[in-house]
Amino acid sequence: MKVAIIGTGYVGLPTGIGLAELGNTVVCVDKIAEKVESLSAGRATIYEDGMEELFQKHLKSGALSFTLDMSKAVSGADVVMLAVGTPPHPVTKEADLKYIYAAAEELAAYLDGYTVVATKSTVPVGTGDEVEAIIRKVNPSADFDVVSLPEFLREGFAVHDFFHPDRIVIGADSDKARQVLLKLYAPFEGKTEFLLVNRKSSETIKYASNAFLAMKIHYINEMADFCEKAGADIREVARGMGLDSRIGRKFLNPGPGYGGSCFPKDTNAMAQMGRKYGAHLNLIETTIAKNDERKVNMGKRVIAALNGSRDGRIAIWGLAFKGGTDDCRESPAMEILNEILKHSENVSVYDPKAMENARKLLGNKVVYAPDAYEACRGADVLVILTEWEDFKAADLNRVRSMMKTHKILDLRNMLDAETVKAAGFDYSCIGMK
Ligand code: UDX
């Protein structure tokens, strides 16, 4: 099949590469000339584990191509996927749909033959109706259906998740569209659950899932706070809870608060939709407020670890919003750093992948260390903010030799408490005394 993908970000690019691997011809279109140029020349614009090899393979074979020209991508396509950004509106926090609507307006003119227009971006319930109306207005004779095809790819694991989906949700109100998408995703038959639902249910499934996961993280973070006070150990509590198959083990890792380009945006958009429909989503509203509060509190915890010394030196390991990605958007690390920087100017940072992106947000307010050990030079406290596997493997003796005061504040519970203490550190983490 020919598939056009509009938008080459964290959703569009891995999806395009995955669909090329499944045997389709994929043309990705983007508005940013440098991106298209870079991708066409074989330079990936984002980091995703396992992506590079497939990207090069399909670029060379011609199954995957990139263009600025919407007509090239959309003409003759069986499926057009909208994978453009839906950033939160700065004031209302609603998903801003201007890129979706602009793409719908532009693509409409080039539809030829029956085409399924599928929304991959996370969009508020009812957006499919709007997209359909826009296309119909621009091109009244077009033969098309608009479908919601939500995306559940985690950043950093997008390629893995593409090939191992928990479910494929097809939100279509027409049988013809359903058949086209069942054919596109036929390689997954027997390997995963296909959920054929109406368009609005599909749009809701995406938000409801992300908001639930965010709530699950908030819940375990709250339990961690409780454990600290009550003398229990959150690792043991989370293990005990997770073994109940109704609860499940995943997303029970306490931390400095959730972040990233999805959870904060989607919880806010869902809460806003609840307000709009007069169906207040109190659990989600609380999750958002408490998660914001948590990041500020974590910054205060770091400052408290310096015992009031204003010129104490702080080493930070981890800037990305989670391990396995270079993305710093809405990273808890950024918000914690903002709080820290109100009290201290002595901060050096290191992240295995996210230094460049962090620099765009932090500028010259911090020192960028060339490696994890250099970040610790002369430090009074080492703070772990992102769950990178590399940090687990660090040589603690070397870390100790670089630091002035041997204190580690592990806000991701990455390290083994006993090992760190045995190496001569004053160690504290989340959810235990
Ligand atoms: C999320 C969803 O998981 C994915 O299905 C969706 O389509 C896109 O949004 P992503 O934003 O890539 O994916 O990150 P995810 O792995 O879900 O983590 C989000 C945040 O929660 C990160 O800051 C992470 O560190 C935090 N987190 C996650 C925890 O603090 N504890 C956990 O147990 C899990």
Distance CA 277, CA 194 (A): 29
- Paired sense of beta strands 407-410 and 347-350, if any: unpaired
Q: Is 298 in the pocket of ligand 1 (CB under 6 A)?
A: no
Helix spans in 243-377 (H) = 263-276, 282-304, 332-340, 355-362, 372-375
Strand partners, 119: 82, 148
Pairing of strands 347-350, 367-368: parallel
Q: According to the model, what pLDDT value does residue 310 have? A: 77
| Average pLDDT along the chain, 433 residues, taken 10 residues at a time | 96 97 98 97 92 97 98 98 91 88 97 97 94 98 98 92 97 97 98 97 97 98 98 97 97 97 94 95 98 97 89 96 91 97 94 96 96 98 96 96 97 96 97 90
Determine the Cα–Cα distance for residues 386 and 391; give it in Å rounded to an integer: 9
Is there an atom of ligand 1 within 6 Å of 144 CB? no
pLDDT of amino acid 131? 98
Whole-number Å distance, alpha carbon 314 to ligand 1 midpoint, is 26
Whose CA is closest to 304, among 396, 428, 399, 391?
A: 428
pLDDT of residue 338: 96
How far is 315 from 348, CA to CA, in rounded Å? 5
CA of 153 relative to ligand 1 center, distance in Å:
10
pLDDT of residue 49: 87
227 among known catalytic residues: no
Residue-level pLDDT at 387: 94
The CB of 256 under 6 Å from ligand 1? The reply is no
Q: Which atom of ligand 1 is found nearest the CA of 259?
A: 23
Helices marked H in 75-173: 98-108, 127-138, 158-163
With b for 16 or more beta-carbon neighbours within 10 A and e for fewer, the 377-407 pattern comes to eebbbbbbbbbbebbeebebeebbebbebbb
329 Rama class: left (phi>0) / alpha (psi -120 to 50) / beta: beta
In our burial notation (b when 16+ CB lie closer than 10 A, e otherwise), range 119-147 reads bbbbbbbebbebbbebbeeebeebebbbb
With contact defined as beta carbons under 8 Å apart, do 117 and 146 qualify? yes
Residue minimizing CA distance to atom 2 of ligand 1: 154
- Nearest atom of ligand 1 to the alpha carbon of 321: 23
**Number of CB atoms found within 10 A of residue 42's CB:** 11
| Amino acid 309: pLDDT | 79
Q: What is the pLDDT of residue 325?
A: 87
